[in-house]
Amino acid sequence: MPKTDKTNKVKNILIELNKKFGTPKCALDYSTPFELLVSVILSAQCTDIRVNMVTKEMFKKVNTPAGFVNMPIEEIENLIKSTGFFRNKAKNIKLCSTQLLEKYDGQIPKEMDNLIELAGVGRKTANVVRGEIWGIADGITVDTHVKRLSNLIGLVDNLDDPTKIEQELMKIVPQKDWINFSHCLILQGRDKCIARRPKCDECEINKYCNFGSNK
């Protein structure tokens, strides 16, 4: 599909989803940039609902880099166990906290290059944090929902690599909409375009979707 057709498709999709969702926000609950960073690390292969359940209790006990550095790794593992892959996530949270204290006086760096050097932080996590905290859009957050919908709709052509998907989406989504675009696709993925049982007949963007319009 030509770039101009995909650009028009994005424009129409955003019109419909903005009508539906208004101004969507991040579904993760947080009160500080560090809490958001930890929450996004925990969200890998886990639902935001589950992460919010875990962090609601965990952040009452520990919610700073110093707190995690001083907490035994086994205790961190127990606090986050239900999010899955808890050993690796606990290791990353503890190491990330150490890096923040040693390099940035416990503060979250704004720069993409600095963020992705932190343990457990890739482009997706960095894009979420930069977009939510500072409104900076140097890229598009590509989670499992954005990846799935972008392929089904036909915005990308059978791509699996999130970095390649992000690069293709950045060519057709206006930069001013990068943050909003991710939020909209994530919400639509949870509401209508559910992985195992997509509700194509009920979907508000069905006519713009290659998969949905061909069903």
Which among 89, 143, 147, 192 is annotated as catalytic? 143
Instruction: State how far the Cα of 154 lies from the Cα of 88, in Å rounded to an integer.
Output: 34
Mapping DSSP onto H, E and C, the string for 15-34 reads: HHHHHHHCCCCCCCCCCCHH
Instruction: State how far the Cα of 175 lies from the Cα of 140, in Å rounded to an integer.
Output: 9
Per the annotation, the verdict on 124 as an active-site residue is: yes
Instruction: State how far the Cα of 215 lies from the Cα of 212, in Å rounded to an integer.
Output: 5
Which among 6, 89, 124, 192 is annotated as catalytic? 124
Cα–Cα nearest to 181, from 195, 196, 165: 165
DSSP letters for 61-102 = H--SHHHHHHS-HHHHHHHHGGGSSHHHHHHHHHHHHHHHHH
Residues 6+ apart with CB under 8 A from 97: 64, 65, 66, 67, 68, 69
Question: For the chain, where are the E strands, in sequence order?
Answer: none
Active site residues: 124, 143
